[in-house]
Amino acid sequence: MVPHLVPRQLVQLFRWQVVCARGASVQPRTWALVSRIPSLLSPWGATGTSHLVCRSSSSTSPCAPEVVLTQERYPVTRLPFSVVSEEDLAAFERIIPGRVVTDPEVLEASNVDWLRTVRGGSKVLLRPRTSQEVAHILRYCHERNLAVNPQGGNTGMVGGSVPVFDEIILSTAQMNQVISFHSVSGTLVCQAGCVLEELSRYVEERGFVMPLDLGAKGSCHIGGNVATNAGGLRFLRYGSLHGTVLGLEVVLADGTILNCLTSLRKDNTGYDLKQLFIGSEGTLGVITAVSIQCQPKPTAVNVAFLGDGNLHLNVTSEAFSPSLLDALEPYVYEWTARQQGSVSAEHGLGFRKRGVLSYSKPPEALRLMQQLKALLDPQGILNPYKTLPAQA
Amino acid sequence: MVPHLVPRQLVQLFRWQVVCARGASVQPRTWALVSRIPSLLSPWGATGTSHLVCRSSSSTSPCAPEVVLTQERYPVTRLPFSVVSEEDLAAFERIIPGRVVTDPEVLEASNVDWLRTVRGGSKVLLRPRTSQEVAHILRYCHERNLAVNPQGGNTGMVGGSVPVFDEIILSTAQMNQVISFHSVSGTLVCQAGCVLEELSRYVEERGFVMPLDLGAKGSCHIGGNVATNAGGLRFLRYGSLHGTVLGLEVVLADGTILNCLTSLRKDNTGYDLKQLFIGSEGTLGVITAVSIQCQPKPTAVNVAFLGDGNLHLNVTSEAFSPSLLDALEPYVYEWTARQQGSVSAEHGLGFRKRGVLSYSKPPEALRLMQQLKALLDPQGILNPYKTLPAQA
């Protein structure tokens, strides 16, 4: 079943891990592939962007209520970060009064990803409203050696948006203000926690469209979109966020606020630092504000569902099967590497795919990525266990 | 004459230094501003991209034959690099036999920029043909602490493409091969020294257009275009090179070949390292090959001359006048900074503008740029005296 007929440029494989709670007694679920380009269906899925829909075989809860802790399911070792103490909670309460959440029920939703495949054990969720508050929090965490998991809408596909162990969850949910919109140029400047759909509505009322659109738009945050370099439906028309994002404000691991929030279409003064943070999945800094180029609303609805050249492989299984996974996974990654494809063109690496980066990138590139991580986050407190492979 | 009427998003000032050889007896020349959007002419120039045309007042050589050495005109101190020895020349000759140039007449054209405003004193020009040769050369220079000036078509505007002192000139002129072109996707992969106009012709014969077009296209190299993040006529239509460049091969200061030469439209595996090198003016690595997304040829000639939102200020003077420059320069930069503009949206910083980066970027950003430079080029041998301000 080697797909010889798939042209090389389409081979940007995203393999979906169909995982339910191991050993849990769950209703079987099947994943149905709903392609937007049925005519391009291949044995490997579809060459267009596709959606997975969870079809329940009963009318009760479609998926298992319990998700096994990531640290129990995966071979991952906690790094020597500090553990959050009562003093730390009191310090956070001073920085963001009334927005330090320790209620286990509220935390549950932020500890588990929406696919219900990974589950962290964080004991505290912080909800800053401003970049200055984020800076205070990170400066404190940096001094105390506390690990931090930045979280937007928690709609990621690879376990990048939830803690692995007890990392502090730093939510952008309350950083949801539009800072400015220029009605001639279409430049939108907003906080990182703005929900994509709300931004879309906001700019559409003013005659523009956002340069990206995603199935998760009702929940995902623009900061998370940028941190994961989300593409989606408008990718072919308006191009990558590396081109449409004009500026970023980022808080670095030590609490430094890096203001690259320009609204200039072009700015060739020095290195384009914001590019470092686009797609780095919160491991190099926390994006707190975004300046983005919106486009005039098309006169006709001609934004065709062209897809983005990704090939989504989906495997259906009644239950999570490690042996099936072990049989398929290396084969798929190696084949993809031979085709000069990317093992994750679409959704990033997060936690679940960080081990396979070497299939797509040469050792020199991996080394430079590790060096950049060490430069920007010397203690490694930002989104640990994500994106980059564990150091030997 | 403060231009209150200029909308903020247009204020991306490029100030032209009208300089002729100091003290030289030259024919006076005037610079005439030829805007592509005459209707948008403002007291500060034009809001569209504009060309400077050298109008000679005599029929003889239009500009002075002698350009004063940069090290004599500007307050700049040579850093403690080694000086090229006979042994070094012999070593280079072993790496690239027959392509080590020491003829002063040939060197003259590579030591002086095309605006004839700056002049280096390099004694050797190297013409590698392959990335491996570039890697050997840089590994050798890194070990010997020899400074290197990467040079493409030498069409830059800010003195970034010629040596300041005696840096070795590393020319990409003989790295001019197309590596591949995909006739369906429009992905072009080529060596860095390909001339833009030749690439344009190559892809147009195959039904595509390059995503950039410049006045200097007959001379400029694609590697130099990427290194300076050139925009030009197609910027508004096809977007920035940060979006259209799919991959790069870069040789780092120590001779490491960094292969990020993917042709994937999207690749979210790890940090997008290539972005670091786009617009870094040869100070972080030498671009040796480029993978770039070409676009289908438009059916109608509708690539309007929209310009790119830059505001070009041009000052006419009979001769180079330091006092005039000193009177104007700080005022222009400070005004631009107050408008949150960029002091060099268009042409980069090179040598002549490196001192003004702090007008556009906050101290935290400058610090991170210096750190990135130190990480990637710890000895500072790549294009020294360019882009970043001199360290205190």
State the smallest CA–CA distance between residue B257 and chain A in angstroms: 8
Closest residue in A to B184 (Cα) is A9
Predicted local confidence at residue A309, as pLDDT: 53
Q: How high is the pLDDT of residue A392?
A: 52
Confidence of residue A19 (pLDDT cuts 50, 70, 90): very low
Q: What phi, psi does B45 have (nearest 5°)?
A: 125, -130
The pLDDT score that the predictor gives to residue A30 is 30
**pLDDT greater than 60 at residue B35:** no
CATH 3.30.465.10 positions along chain B are: 178-296
Of residues B272, B342, B371, nearest to A278 (C-beta): B272
Pick the most confident of A78-92, A321-335, B222-236.
A78-92
**Chain A CA closest to residue B9:** A264
Architecture of domain A87-171: 2-Layer Sandwich (3.30)
More confident residue, A156 or B168: B168
- Tell which residue, A92, A158, A93, A149, has the closest CA to residue A121: A149
What is d(CA A24, CA A256) in angstroms, rounded to the nearest whole number? 44
* CA dist., res. A277 & res. A283, Å (int): 8
Residue that wins the pLDDT comparison between B351 and A167: A167
| Residue to test with chain B: of A250, A266, A291, most B Cβ within 10 A | A266
pTM of the model: 0.81
B227 vs A contacts (CB less than 8 Å): none
Q: Among all residues of chain A, which has the CA nearest to that of B345?
A: A267
Q: What are the φ and ψ backbone dihedral angles of A227, each rounded to 5 degrees?
A: -65, -30
Kindly list the residues from chain B whose CB atom is less than 8 angstroms away from the CB atom of residue A361: 260, 269-270
Decide if B349 contacts A270 (C-beta within 8 A).
yes
Instruction: List, for residues A176-228, the tens digit of each pLDDT value.
Output: 999 999 999 999 999 999 999 999 999 999 999 999 998 899 999 999 999 99
pLDDT of res. A336: 77
Q: Where in chain B is the domain with CATH 3.30.43.10?
A: 79-171
Question: What phi and psi values does residue B178 have, to the nearest 5 degrees?
Answer: -75, 130
Q: What is the mean pLDDT of chain A?
A: 80
Residue of B266 and B188 predicted with greater confidence: B188
- Could you tell me which of B221, B381, B204 has the C-alpha nearest to residue B290? B221
Taking an 8 Å cut-off on Cβ atoms, the answer to whether B266 and A365 are in contact is no
- Please indicate whether residue B287 or residue B315 has the higher confidence score (pLDDT): B287
pLDDT score, position A222 = 97
Task: Tell if the CB–CB gap between A239 and B243 is shorter than 8 Å.
Answer: yes
Among 3.30.70.2190, 3.40.50.150, 3.30.465.10, 3.40.50.970, what is the CATH number of A178-296?
3.30.465.10
Contact across the interface for A342 and B275, Cβ inside 8 Å: no
Q: How many Cβ atoms are within 10 Å of B201's Cβ, its own excluded?
A: 12
Closest CB to B263: pick one of A9, A343, A347. A9
Q: How many residues does chain A have?
A: 392
CATH 3.30.43.10 in chain A, residue ranges: 87-171
Contact A195, A176 (CB under 8 A): yes
pLDDT at B252: 96
Mean pLDDT on A102-121: 94
Average pLDDT over residues A287-296: 96
Q: What CATH class does B79-171 carry?
A: alpha beta
pLDDT in tens, A45-92: 333 333 333 333 333 344 456 899 999 999 999 999 999 999 999 999
* pLDDT in the model for residue A337: 76
Q: Across the A/B interface, how many CB contacts are shorter than 8 Å?
A: 220
Residue in the structure block whose two tokens are 């995603």: A214
∠ CA B358-A141-B371 to the nearest 5 degrees? 30
**Choice among A27-36, A137-146, A309-318, B72-81 with the minimum mean pLDDT:** A27-36
List chain B residues with CB under 8 Å of A8: 182, 263
Residue B345, both tokens? 């949206």
Nearest to B243 by CA among B278, B207, B204, B284: B278
Chain B CB contacts of A343 below 8 Å: 269
| Shortest Cα–Cα distance, A219 to chain B (Å) | 21
pLDDT digits (tens, 9 = 90+) for B247-282: 999 999 999 999 999 877 777 788 999 999 999 999
Task: Please tell me the total number of residues recorded for chain B in this structure.
Answer: 392
Lowest mean pLDDT among A46-60, A236-250, B72-86, B326-340: A46-60
pLDDT band for position B22 (50/70/90)?
very low
Look up the ipTM and state it: 0.79
**pLDDT more than 70, % of chain A:** 79
Distance CA A278, CA A224 (A): 10
Q: Token pair of A39, please?
A: 């005519």
Name the residue among B283, B214, B219, B276 with its Cα closest to residue B248.
B276
Residue A256, CB half-sphere, CA atoms under 13 Å: how many? Answer: 17
What pLDDT does A39 receive? 31
Tokens of B339: 């408008």
Using DSSP, how many helices (H) and how many strands (E) does chain B show?
12, 17
